[in-house]
């Protein structure tokens, strides 16, 4: 089992990565089982695939376990569903000792994590991600939240999990499109932090059937752990994790949450940000070509030409805007990223032409 530490003083925790890890969860959590309620928050389909097996394993090891399901898709990340989840927790007599297990993809992790952050002013929770995207991104770092009509994740909190438990066997249940979406984030880690890792990814993408997912997940998690350990609250280094996200979030909002997968949108956003990096002179032509060639190995959905004015409306409400200035992440060479305030609207609009 690969264990990676997120170093945050008294709130430090481990990320465990292993094939078949779900069988070890009762043992891993045993020191924290004090007779409290363990509440699995998931989705019905995932409960049938993994959740009921996990409940049985926990009950066999004397865990007091129950579960609540959320609807599928981004619809779960609404104020109404969040309110319903909290109400059910009250009905189940959850209290300050209750521990939440977020079993699912990024949507489940975001909503369950926000519920854990909010319920009785904060209770313990663990992330058990079941998608590639959640394994390498949203399950790590404590970002939780829900969507409102004006934008994605505009309501939320940073509430670190007590641990992240990654069973890479869950990836075998995913459709190809979900794996591709997750690979968009995997590419991001190489682009912003580890050039050699990016080169490996580029080669691995030549044959998805032999892609070493466990190795890629472990390295991606290690990179995010390093970044979060240094900058938990996104005041400096952690901002580089938003590479590709400014345009990516705008595309998600434009098409409608759930209609374009987050990782697919980020992949397109990285094309835009790569173009801008080159225009600003921080990325060479050969580096830009390598980045583009790697991203374009992903079978992304065609999006056609976009209405740049419409996309800019979403970008202006992006969380990375501060006092009217957009903090835009660009590459300062492959494997290195910086935040720039020199990216204006005209340059962003120009970059959108590379997406179609």
Q: Which of 178, 185, 264, 287 is catalytic?
A: 185
Q: Tell me how far apart the alpha carbons of residues 356 and 351 are, in angstroms, rounded to a whole number.
A: 11
Q: Which of 16, 239, 245, 278 is catalytic?
A: 245
Indicate if 242 belongs to the active site: yes
Q: What distance lies between CA 353 and its chain's CA centroid? A: 26
Q: Tell me how far apart the alpha carbons of residues 64 and 285 are, in angstroms, rounded to a whole number.
A: 58
Q: Which of 159, 238, 278, 297 is catalytic?
A: 238
Q: Which of 16, 18, 74, 143 is catalytic?
A: 143
Q: Which of 234, 252, 264, 287 is catalytic?
A: 234
Q: Which of 34, 93, 121, 176 is catalytic?
A: 121
Indicate if 238 belongs to the active site: yes
Q: Tell me how far apart the alpha carbons of residues 209 and 220 are, in angstroms, rounded to a whole number.
A: 19
Place of tokens 């007779």: 35
Which long-range CB contacts under 8 A does 90-95 form with residues at least 24 apart? 92/37, 92/39, 92/66, 92/68, 93/37, 94/37, 94/39, 94/119, 94/123, 95/36, 95/37, 95/120
Angle at the Cα of 65 from the Cα atoms of 171 and 42, rounded to 5 degrees = 35
By three-state DSSP, how is residue 122 classified? coil
Indicate if 249 belongs to the active site: yes
Q: Which of 224, 239, 261, 278 is catalytic?
A: 224
Maximum CA pair distance of the chain?
A: 60
Supply φ then ψ for residue 129, to 5 degrees: -70, 145
Indicate if 235 belongs to the active site: no
Angle at the Cα of 274 from the Cα atoms of 149 and 132, rounded to 5 degrees = 60
Indicate if 245 belongs to the active site: yes
Indicate if 121 belongs to the active site: yes
Indicate if 310 belongs to the active site: no
Indicate if 44 belongs to the active site: no
Which long-range CB contacts under 8 A does 199-208 form with residues at least 24 apart? 201/294, 202/290, 202/293, 202/294, 202/297, 205/294, 205/297, 205/298, 206/297, 208/176, 208/179
Which residues belong to the active site?
121, 143, 185, 224, 234, 238, 242, 245, 249, 262
């Amino acid at each position: 089992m690969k264990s990676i530490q997120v170093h945050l003083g008294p709130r430090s925790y481990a990320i465990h990565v292993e094939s078949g890890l779900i069988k070890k969860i009762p043992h891993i959590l045993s020191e924290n089982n004090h007779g409290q309620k363990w509440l699995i928050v998931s989705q019905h389909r995932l409960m049938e695939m993994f959740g009921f097996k996990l409940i049985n394993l926990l009950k066999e090891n004397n865990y007091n376990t129950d579960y609540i399901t959320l609807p599928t898709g981004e619809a779960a990340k609404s104020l109404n569903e969040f309110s319903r989840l909290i109400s059910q927790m009250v009905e189940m007599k959850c209290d300050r000792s209750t521990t939440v297990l977020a079993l699912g993809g990024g949507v489940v992790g975001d909503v369950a994590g926000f519920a854990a952050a909010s319920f009785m002013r904060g209770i313990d929770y663990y992330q058990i991600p079941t998608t590639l995207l959640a394994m390498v991104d949203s399950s790590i770092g404590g970002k939780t939240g829900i969507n409102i009509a004006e934008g994605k994740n505009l309501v939320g909190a940073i509430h670190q999990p007590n641990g992240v438990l990654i069973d890479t066997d869950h990836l075998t249940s995913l459709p190809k499109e979900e794996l591709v979406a997750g690979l968009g984030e995997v590419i991001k880690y190489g682009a912003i932090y580890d050039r050699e890792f990016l080169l490996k990814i580029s080669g691995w993408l030549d044959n998805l059937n032999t892609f070493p997912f466990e190795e890629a997940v472990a390295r991606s998690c290690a990179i995010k752990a390093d970044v979060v350990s240094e900058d938990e609250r996104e005041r400096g280094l952690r901002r580089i994790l938003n590479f590709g996200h400014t345009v990516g979030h705008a595309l998600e909002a434009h098409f409608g949450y759930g209609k374009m997968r987050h990782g697919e949108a980020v992949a397109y956003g990285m094309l835009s940000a790569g173009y801008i990096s080159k225009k600003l002179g921080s990325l060479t032509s050969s580096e830009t070509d390598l980045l583009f060639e790697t991203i374009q190995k992903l079978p992304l959905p065609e999006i056609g030409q976009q209405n740049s004015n419409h996309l800019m409306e979403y970008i202006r409400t992006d969380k990375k805007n501060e006092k009217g200035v957009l903090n835009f992440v660009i590459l300062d060479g492959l494997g290195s990223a910086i935040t720039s305030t020199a990216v204006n609207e005209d340059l962003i609009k120009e970059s959108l032409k590379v997406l179609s």
